[in-house]
Amino acid sequence: MRALLTATLIASSLATAVQAADFRLYPGFRDRNALVEMTTDKGLIIEVVLRCSRDKQGRVKAGIMTYSKVERLYCSSKNRCFRNSDDAADNTCS
């Protein structure tokens, strides 16, 4: 799952070079158990919506983290930034 997060971020940033800003990918649409629900490329920042967990009724607990293309940092929703995407995802979902 973590490899999917990294691959999605790379694919999103490569697609931006070719297409306009505000490019979106929905890897969670194909895989119900994917960690990444959606990525939105907003120019210098990539916004990543995560599926953190599911409750007994099947509702998803979501989290949002960002990736800065300039600083090359992944930032959790708790305003902590990391060099590693796994650390930011863990901090967002904890």
- What are the extents of the domains in the chain? 2-93
- At 46, give phi and psi (nearest 5°): -110, 125
pTM of the predicted structure, to 2 decimals: 0.70
CB neighbours of 67 closer than 8 A, spacing ≥ 6? 9, 45, 46, 48, 73, 74, 75, 85
Contact, 2 vs 35, CB < 8 A?
A: yes
Query: Residue 6: its pLDDT value, please?
Result: 63
Over residues 18-63, the pLDDT tens digits come to 555 567 777 777 787 788 888 999 889 999 999 888 778 878 788 9
Give me the pLDDT at residue 24, please. 77
